[in-house]
Amino acid sequence: MRVPVVIHLIGTILRLFGLTLLPPAAVALLYAERSDAAAFLVSGVAAAAAGQLMVRASRAPGEDLRRVEGLAVVAGAWVLAAHAGALPYVWAGMPPVDALFESMSGLTTTGATVIRDFGEFGRGMFFWRSLTQWLGGMGVIALFIAVLPRLGIAGRQLFFAEAPGPTDEKLTPRIRKTAAALWTVYAGLTALEAIALVAAGLPLYDSVCHALTTLGAGGFSPHPQSLMGYRNPAAEWIVTGFMFLAGANFALHYRMLRGETHVFRRDEEFRVYLVLTVAATVLVAILLGPAAGTIVDRVRVASFQVLSILTTTGYASADFNLWNDQSRAVLVALMFVGGCAGSAAGGPKVVRQILVARYSLLELRRTLHPRGVLPVKLGGRVVPEDVMREVLVFFLLYLAVFAVCTVVVVALGADLVTGFTAAIATLGNIGPGLNVVGPMGHYGDFHPVSKVVLTAAMWVGRLEVLTVLALLPPEVWRSAQWAGAGAHVPRAPAPAGGRLS
């Protein structure tokens, strides 16, 4: 691993990330929150300056970027972007650990919050919270690949390191065009939802914020009681629909818009995702019992909560912490599934669950037919052995990380249900858990060490475990080249941030 190259690319990304602090500054100005506007401007400039410093002090990659370097760039860029995003919160008076938690929760589209009193913060801050989830949903790096032609070949490595699904499907032969296409669909759906919510009677500001956090499968709401606070069934249905879309593969949306109308029917993962959604909704609607209202009300409440958890969004249109244990058990089970690969959702992903289930069933069948040739198939195609191995390792590591987080959080004072659900809700980028961290609760009262651990869990979970854990073995660092060995590759001056906006 060539550390200067990694630093250079992280610097490039960070420099650009500084720009994303401009829109909330404008929103803050709009609502006459001068101090907050200054916070965003200063933070943006600081991030851009830090990025510029890193770029200057290091060297550009040549033609090639090694796999491990790609992983390091993505992992590093996400940590630094979270730090940069935390600056405005610190300015507004949040303790640094809390600010980092909130910022990481935003970027990783988790939606877990440490804010106790929503009245302490202005509209600019809440807009920034929502915007971070929107940026993180489709992937900060995917966005920059779309707008940054210079990433070139490095872009390919980074793209798959950021969204390492079991299938490396590209929509177009060029990664930059693929990233651009996905972002276009993403932005289009966001605009559509914002318009629909305004039409349903939500204020413009709230509509935009919710659209940003729905499509990103994030779950932050400017309202302290989330969607429940609006008491607007139409808005709930709209959000339910868009959560479902956000949890499906965006590549399918794109191909659908290109006229391939059969893609949803043909896609095995999507079919399972749909069946899972419907089955869980029906189950929860039944388990809630007649006390929860009419059939229509129960289906609405059940489908909203089921999709909120399954797509790892984390909104609440009802305080499901108060539900009976049967219903809550279904939601907890869904926390371990997640959305589709290639979506904005977190979690282990439906496709991995399918693969592991098939693999297990085939192993059972193998005891009957020891000489059988029994490949795992997905969509009629054989899944290569190494992909299958990666999926299994993913699950092992995922559960290991989950167990460690639970133990740490419980050891530092949380009750078991709280600790258990807080760990999976952060690792799976869901947001709310149960008990203390229920949908109407918050993470503010955790021990600071717990907060740091859960912040790391969000980061590890968003990058699907392997991207981060692959950097842990000591030999990665033993063989690292720290200094800029070799000549500095001369090249044209980097474009200033302003030219891109």
Partner 1 sequence: MRILIAGGGEVGFALARELSRDQEVFVIDHSDEARERFAGLDVQFVAGSATSAEVLERARAADADLMVACTGHDEVNLVACALAKSLGLSRTICFVSDDGFLTAGGSGESIREHFGIERFVWPEAQLADDIERIIAAPGAIDAEVFAGGRIRLLEYRLQEGSPLTAGPVSTLRVPHGALIVAVKQGGTFHIPRGDTRLGAGDKIIVMGTPEALRDLEPQIEPSSAGGTRRQLVTIIGGGDVGFRLAQRLDAASNVEVRVIEKDRRRGEQLAASLRRALVLNGDGTDLELLEAEGIGRSDVLVSVVDNDERNLLASLLARQLGVRKVIARVSRPANLRLFELVGIDVALSPRGAAVASVIHEVQAGRANLLAVLEEGQATVVELVVPAEYQPRALAELKMPPQSIVGAILRRNQVIIPRGPDQVRPHDRLLVFATSESAASIRDFFAPGR
Does 493 bind partner 1 (CB under 8 A)? Our answer is: no
Specify the residue, 96 or 384, whose C-beta has the smaller distance to partner 1.
Answer: 384
Specify the residue, 375 or 486, whose C-beta has the smaller distance to partner 1.
Answer: 375
* Smallest separation, CB 280 to partner 1 (Å): 29
For residues 211 and 194, give the distance between their C-alpha atoms in angstroms, rounded to a whole number.
5
* Smallest separation, CB 266 to partner 1 (Å): 15
**How far is the CA of 403 from the CAs of 389, 397, 409, 454, in angstroms?**
21, 10, 10, 12
For residues 437 and 443, give the distance between their C-alpha atoms in angstroms, rounded to a whole number.
6
Q: Taking the alpha carbons of 37, 40, 46, 48 in that order, is the dihedral positive or negative?
A: negative
Specify the residue, 384 or 448, whose C-beta has the smaller distance to partner 1.
Answer: 384
Does 384 bind partner 1 (CB under 8 A)? Our answer is: no
Residues in the chain: 501
Q: Which of residues 347-376 bind partner 1 (CB under 8 A)?
A: 369-375
CB 254 within 8 A of CB 182: yes
CB 69 within 8 A of CB 467: no
For residues 124 and 27, give the distance between their C-alpha atoms in angstroms, rounded to a whole number.
5
Among 150, 258, 266, 377, binds partner 1 (CB under 8 A): 377
Does 380 bind partner 1 (CB under 8 A)? Our answer is: yes
* Smallest separation, CB 15 to partner 1 (Å): 47
* Smallest separation, CB 372 to partner 1 (Å): 6
Number of residues that bind partner 1 (CB under 8 A): 11
**How far is the CA of 406 from the CAs of 231, 329, 344, 463, 468, in angstroms?**
34, 17, 25, 19, 19
* Smallest separation, CB 378 to partner 1 (Å): 12
* Closest listed residue to residue 104, CA positions, set 468, 455, 461: 455
Specify the residue, 150 or 366, whose C-beta has the smaller distance to partner 1.
Answer: 366
Among 381, 400, 407, 482, binds partner 1 (CB under 8 A): 381
For residues 356 and 348, give the distance between their C-alpha atoms in angstroms, rounded to a whole number.
11
CB 438 within 8 A of CB 432: yes
* Closest listed residue to residue 316, CA positions, set 409, 425, 415: 425
Specify the residue, 258 or 369, whose C-beta has the smaller distance to partner 1.
Answer: 369
* Smallest separation, CB 370 to partner 1 (Å): 7
* Smallest separation, CB 365 to partner 1 (Å): 8
Specify the residue, 234 or 374, whose C-beta has the smaller distance to partner 1.
Answer: 374
* Smallest separation, CB 77 to partner 1 (Å): 38
Q: Which tokens sit at 194? A: 């914002």
Q: Which residues bind partner 1 (CB under 8 A)?
A: 369-375, 377, 380-382
